[in-house]
Amino acid sequence: MDIEITEEEANELLNRKEISFSIVHDGETPSRLAVRDSLAAKLDKDSDEVLVHKMDTKFGMNETLGHAKVYESPEDAKEIEEGYMLERNKIGVEEEEEEDAADEEAEA
């Protein structure tokens, strides 16, 4: 999987960068989480700071075009983004699972 950033625009008001990217891949379209992790590594950011919003692969092609938002911190992302988008990108999910496990132990 080869990721190329095609466009990058700063959004100072929301403490984020909005990025368009292109991925050349063999076989099936890569998962949202794999793309998020690859973008985070390429941009030298933490995975919780990157949200992949859209990925589009045309039928029979081995290129995917997409759009992502890169925040300054995970807290900024949680404050601005809607819950379903955070859930799709698995941001904050680990914390909720830990809280649920702690609640279950306290009840027992």
Note the pLDDT tens digit of each residue in 63-82. 999 999 999 988 988 998 88
Amino acid at 94: E
- The model's pLDDT over 18-53, given as tens digits with 9 standing for 90+, comes to 999 999 998 888 999 999 999 999 999 998 999 999
In sequence order, the 6+-apart residues with CB closer than 8 A to the CB of 11 are 17, 18
In sequence order, the 6+-apart residues with CB closer than 8 A to the CB of 1 are 23, 24, 25, 30, 34, 35, 38
Question: Which class would CATH give 2-107?
Answer: alpha beta
Extents of the domains making up the chain:
2-107
Model pTM?
Answer: 0.78
